[in-house]
Amino acid sequence: MNKMRCSTFWAKIYIAGPIDKIEQTCREWCLIGACVTVTPTNYIYTMGEESGAEIGLINYARFPKKPKDIIDQAQELGHELMEKCCQGSFTIMTPDDTLFFSRRSEAEKK
């Protein structure tokens, strides 16, 4: 039996939108030779609620990557999801940082 090892690193994308659209976008994006997890979730916030997903990318020991490459892939997929799911923003969380991406104008962010 072969045993492979790599440094642990992950990135999670958090985005609202229809779960079927999120899953299909991930299927199409993964054709580049990638694998992600898709976990449906609900975002509950002050006076509101939305459905969406947590999308996970890991450092897979069979095909190890540098953390920067995993973050770059998460950003690429996050932008694709934001566009295809008609969302204004998404968040990427790693063990080290949380990154927020938005296409809203500054006036809408306040």
pLDDT tens digits, one per residue of 42-72: 999 999 999 999 999 999 998 999 999 999 9
Q: Which CATH fold would you assign to the domain 10-109?
A: Alpha-Beta Plaits (3.30.70)
Q: Read off the amino acid at residue 94.
A: T
Q: How far apart are alpha carbons 22 and 14 in whole angstroms?
A: 11
105 pLDDT band (50/70/90 cuts)?
confident
The domain spans of the chain are: 10-109
Distance (Å, whole) CA 22 – CA 66: 25
Work out the percent of the chain whose per-residue pLDDT is above 70. Answer: 95
